[in-house]
Amino acid sequence: MTGPRIVPGVHVPGVYVPGVHVPGVHVLGIRHHGPGSAESVAAALNELRPDTVLVEGPPELTPILPLLADPHTVPPVAGLVYAADEPRRAAFYPLAAFSPEWVATRWALHASVDVAWIDLPAATSLAIRAAVEDHQNQGPSESDDVPDDLDRPIDPDETITDETITDPIGVLAEAAGYDDPERWWEDAVEHRSGSAVDRFTGLREAIAELRRDEPAPAALVDDEKVLDLHAAAASTGAATTAAREAAMRKAVRSAVKQGAQRVAVVCGAWHAPAVDLAHGPSAAADNRLLRGLPKTKVAAAWVPWTAGRLSYESGYGAGVTSPGWYRHLYDSRARGDSPDTAAAAWLVRTARELREQGIAASPAAVVDATRVARTLATLRGRPHPGLAELDDASLAVLADGDRTPLRLVHENLVVGHDIGAVPDDAPMIPLAADVQRRQRACRLKPSAAPKTVTLDLRTEAGRARSTLLHRLRLLGVDWGQLADVGRTTGTFKEAWELAWDPALSIAVVEAGMHGTTVVSAAAAKVAADAREATRLPALSELVDACLLADLPTHDVVAALADRAATHAEVAELLAAVEPLARVCRYGNVRDVDTGDVRQVLEATAIRAAVGLPSSAVALADDAALALRDSIEVAHRGLMLLADPDLSDRWFRALTEVTARDATPGLVGGRATRILLDAGRIDRDVVEEQMSRTLSAASDPTDAAGWLDGFLTGDAMILIHDAALLSVVDDWFAHVSTDVFDDLLPLLRRTFAEFSASERRNIGRALSRRADDRNDDRAIDWNRAAPAFAATAHLIGWESA
C-alpha cells in the first residue's frame, strides 16, 4: 500500500519513520481530537517503532481499519456500529485528520505493523444501552429508587467512546491558568525537552495523581448475573469506565501473549494509568469486571463525518470547540510552519472571509492585526498567539469592534464545513450503496454546508432529482427540505434546502430494512405506512407523497377508500381533501394517472359537505377552532379543482352552517367570509349578519370569535368597506370595560395577524370616520390643552 510522500526535512504526522526498537508496553495518553496530541503520538511512535499498535476504540472496527489508509478515505470520517436487528441502536466513533487515533492507526498501516482497536466491544455497549432504554420505556416501579441519570433519555447518536466524566488535560490546563487545553499541551508538553515518550510518561503520572483516591471499581453485572441498571445508565460512569479499562488491559495482555515485543497503546489520557499493566488490576480481576456482560449482534462500517459534528455544539461529548482551527494548526505543523506563521495565515483566511461579506479587510489591516495578536500574547504571558488572541485582534482591527460579521467567520472557519469521504468499496448496506449511486447520477453531491437547489420539473434531470429527494423523505432520510421557490406561481419548480448530516447514515441503515434500492425501499415503506395509518389525513398526505416520489398509489388509495367509506369524523374528512386535490390538480405535471384518486376525493368531499352543518353546532372552543382549520384546508383543496358540482355542494354546506344559531362564532364567521369572497352571499346580508352577531344582545365572547373567523388573514375588507368597519367600531365602543378586558387577548391575536400597513390604514379610516361624524366625541381643545403642553415638554418642544 502506498503511503503519503515524505518531504525530506519536513515532519509529516502519522507517517512511519524508521527509528530505534524500544521493547515493552508503552501507554500514550491523549486528548481526543487534539492536534498537539496527534503530533506527539506520531513522534512517540517514530521513537518507539512498535511492532503492535493498540488504539482505544471498538474492536468491531478492527477488520475494516485498512480502509483508513485508502487514498479515497478523506477525514473526517466515523466508524458506525449498529445493532443488526435494530439499526436505531447505533454509535459513532469519529476521526478527524488531527485525531490521535487516526494518526496512530494510519502510522501502523503505513508501517505494516499489527494494529487493533481494543475498547469494550460495541456489541456489549449497545446491549447495555438497550437494557437501560427498555427500563426507561417501561417506567420505574414504586419500589425503584431510580437515580436522575437513569431517567435521562439516551441519545441514540451519543458516542460511547467519549470521555465525558472529565477532561483530564482540560483540568490540568485550567490548573495551570490556561483557557485552551491545546495551548497548555503545546506549551507544557510539546515544548519540553526530551523524548516524546518521556513526555507521555510525565502526563500519565499526572493523571495517576488525579485518580489516586478513586474507590475500587464495581462490576456492572453482579454475582447473580444481573445487570446493574443504575451503574449502566451513565455510559462514562465509574462502573462502565472500569469495564472499558478492563477490556483494554485484556487486549494488551493478549497482544503480549501472542508474541508482541514492542506495544504502543493509544488511549484517552484519563485511562492511561489504568491501562498500564504495571499498575493495573490482575487478569482475574479484569475477568470478573467483564463477566456476564450482555451482547448483541452488530455490523460496522465507515461513514463520512463533518467538522460541525466534531464540535461540542453538536452534542458530541468528546468534541472540541474549534475543529476548523485545530485542522489549521495540524496542517500548519505538518508543513513545518512556525506558530507565528500559522497565526498570520489564520488572519489572512479571516480577512478573506470578511471580504466575501463585503467588509474591507485590506492586507495592511491583516499586518496590523498580526501585530496586535502578538502583543496580546506577550501581555498574557503566552509564547505565541492562540485563537483567543487572533479573535480579539480580528475584532479590534479587521471588524472595527463589530462581532456580527465574526459570527459567520466562526461558522465557516473556526468550526468549518469539512465533510469526509469513504471509498466506494467500503462495506455498506445495499441501500446506502444505491443512495450513493443515485446521488452521483443526479449530480447531487452531499455537503455539510446548507445550500439551496432549484429544480425545473419540466426537465428530465429536474424530475430525477426531485423524485430522489422525495423518496428519501418517505424513507425518513431528510437530506433536503422543501423551500420557497420565490415569486413564481407555476407548478414546474421546486426549491430544496440540502444539508447532509452524518446522522442520516443511521436513517439509511434503518430504511435498509424495507429494501435494497431507494425505489423498492420507498415503495415498501409506503405500503407499510398505509397498513398502519388510522387517520384519513395521514393517508391523504401519503397519496400526495407517492405522487411526488413517482411511486404507485394503488395500495394507498385502496386503503384510503376503505377508511373514508366508513369514517364519520367530519373534521378528518375535511382534512383529507386538500392533499387529494393537490394530487388531482398537479398530477399532470408529472404525467401521473389520477383517476382513482379523483373518485376517492369526490366521495370524501361529498360526505364531508353533507356532514358539516350538523357537526358544526354546540362545539367547545378547542373543537370549534380545529373545525375552522379543517374548513380552511378543505376550501383550499376544492378551489384548486375548480369543479362546479363539488363547489356548489361545498358552498351550500357553508351557507347552512352560517344559518344555524348554534354554530360557534369561530366557525360561522369563517364560513361567512369564505362565502363573501366567493361571491356566494350578498354584501348587505353580510352586514346584517355582522350587525346581529355584534349586537349588545349577543354573547361578547362568541361575537369576538365570529369577528376573528371573519377577519382571519385579511384586513382589506375593513379598509375598503366603511359600513362593515362602522359595525365593528360601534361594537368595540359599546362593549363594557370588564368584558373588553376578557376579549382583549382574542382581539389582539386577530389584529396581530394583519400587516403594519393594514393596521395603519384601518386607523386612518377610523380617524376619517370620527372627523365625518363631528359628534360629541370630537376633541375638546380647551380640556386637552394641558395634556398637549405636557407632551410637548416631554419631547422637547417649546410651547408657544
DSSP assignment of 209-268? HHTTTPPPPPPSB-TTS-B-HHHHTSTTSHHHHHHHHHHHHHHHHHHHHTT-SEEEEEEE
Max CA distance (Å), the chain: 107
CA gap 445, 465 in Å, rounded: 11
**Considering 304, 322, 354, which residue would you say is the last residue of a domain?**
304
CA gap 661, 750 in Å, rounded: 23
Check whether residue 651 and residue 738 sit in a common domain.
yes
Is the separation of the CB atoms in 651 and 676 below 8 Å? Answer: no
Beta bridge partners of 227: 221
Is the separation of the CB atoms in 670 and 711 below 8 Å? Answer: no
Is the separation of the CB atoms in 82 and 90 below 8 Å? Answer: yes
Position 228 in a domain? yes
Is the separation of the CB atoms in 382 and 389 below 8 Å? Answer: yes
Beta bridge partners of 604: none
pLDDT given at position 572? 83
**Considering 415, 445, 471, which residue would you say is the last residue of a domain?**
415
Check whether residue 35 and residue 155 sit in a common domain.
yes
Query: Concatenated DSSP letters for 391-460?
Result: HHHIIIIISTT--HHHHHHIIIIII---B-B--TTS---HHHHHHHHHHHHTT----SS-EEEEEETTSH
Check whether residue 264 and residue 343 sit in a common domain.
no
Q: Print the domain residue range for 754.
A: 553-559+572-782
Bin 642: left if φ > 0, else alpha if -120 < ψ < 50, else beta: left
Residue type, 547: L
Check whether residue 450 and residue 373 sit in a common domain.
no
Check whether residue 213 and residue 266 sit in a common domain.
yes
Beta bridge partners of 497: 452, 481
Asked if omega into 644 is within 30° of 0 (cis), the reply is no
Is the separation of the CB atoms in 46 and 20 below 8 Å? Answer: no
Work out whether strand 24-30 and strand 262-268 pair parallel, antiparallel, or are unpaired.
parallel
Helix axes 665-677, 683-693, angle to 10 degrees: 170
Is the separation of the CB atoms in 361 and 354 below 8 Å? Answer: yes
**Considering 388, 415, 442, which residue would you say is the last residue of a domain?**
415
Residue 760's H or E segment, with its range, is helix 756-773
Inter-CA distances, 283 with 58, 254, 277, 370, Å:
20, 11, 10, 55
Q: Quote the cell numbers at residue 796.
A: 422637547
pLDDT given at position 364? 93
Q: Taking Cα atoms as reference points, which of 317, 70, 43 lies closest to residue 191?
A: 43
CA gap 686, 792 in Å, rounded: 45
Position 12 in a domain? no
Check whether residue 251 and residue 284 sit in a common domain.
yes
Bin 121: left if φ > 0, else alpha if -120 < ψ < 50, else beta: beta
Within 10 angstroms of residue 43's Cβ, the number of other Cβ atoms is 20
Position 315 in a domain? no
Contacts of 478 (CB under 8 A, 6+ apart): 472, 504, 507
Position 9 in a domain? no
Residue type, 758: E
Position 737 in a domain? yes
Query: Concatenated DSSP letters for 670-729?
Result: HHHHHHHHTT-S-HHHHHHHHHHHTSTTS-HHHHHHHHHHHHTT--HHHHH-HHHHHHHH
pLDDT given at position 772? 58
Inter-CA distances, 318 with 248, 315, 392, Å:
19, 9, 26
- Centroid of chain to Cα 239: 31
- ∠ Cα 614 615 617 (to 5°): 80
- ∠ Cα 78 79 80 (to 5°): 110
CA gap 666, 676 in Å, rounded: 16
The sign of the CA dihedral 719, 721, 726, 729 is negative
Is the separation of the CB atoms in 329 and 387 below 8 Å? Answer: no
Helix axes 644-659, 665-677, angle to 10 degrees: 140
Position 398 in a domain? yes
Question: Hey, is 102 helix, strand or coil?
Answer: helix
Inter-CA distances, 715 with 687, 712, 746, Å:
16, 8, 16
Residue 352's H or E segment, with its range, is helix 339-356
pLDDT given at position 159? 40
CB half-sphere exposure, 469, CA atoms < 13 A: 27
Is the separation of the CB atoms in 481 and 496 below 8 Å? Answer: yes
Check whether residue 377 and residue 438 sit in a common domain.
no
- ∠ Cα 146 152 94 (to 5°): 135
CA gap 789, 350 in Å, rounded: 55
Q: Taking Cα atoms as reference points, which of 542, 505, 540, 537 lies closest to residue 525?
A: 542
CA gap 335, 108 in Å, rounded: 21
Provide the terminal-to-terminal Cα distance of the chain, rounded to the nearest Å. 94
Check whether residue 134 and residue 199 sit in a common domain.
yes
CA gap 752, 759 in Å, rounded: 9
Position 384 in a domain? yes
CA dihedral 340, 343, 349, 355 (to 10 degrees): -100
Q: Taking Cα atoms as reference points, which of 515, 508, 514 lies closest to residue 82?
A: 508
CA gap 78, 502 in Å, rounded: 9
pLDDT tens for each residue of 393-414: 999 999 888 888 888 888 888 8
Q: Taking Cα atoms as reference points, which of 128, 123, 132, 134 lies closest to residue 84?
A: 123
CA gap 155, 91 in Å, rounded: 10
Check whether residue 392 and residue 485 sit in a common domain.
no
pLDDT given at position 333? 84
CA dihedral 353, 358, 364, 367 (to 10 degrees): -30
Check whether residue 686 and residue 724 sit in a common domain.
yes
Query: Concatenated DSSP letters for 58-89?
Result: -GGGGGGGGGGGSTT-BSSEEEEEEETTEEEE
Is the separation of the CB atoms in 633 and 574 below 8 Å? Answer: yes
> What are the E-state strand segments in 269-330?
298-304
Ranges in the chain, pLDDT < 70: 1-23, 137-167, 182, 185-186, 188-194, 234-236, 312-319, 485-491, 568, 586-594, 713-715, 738-739, 742, 746, 769-779, 796, 798-800
Position 796 in a domain? no
Instruction: Give me the numbers of helices (H) and strands (E) for the chain, helices first please.
Output: 35, 10
Contacts of 60 (CB under 8 A, 6+ apart): 81, 121, 122, 123, 298, 300
Check whether residue 30 and residue 161 sit in a common domain.
yes
Bin 486: left if φ > 0, else alpha if -120 < ψ < 50, else beta: left
Check whether residue 453 and residue 381 sit in a common domain.
no
- The total number of structural domains in the chain stands at 4
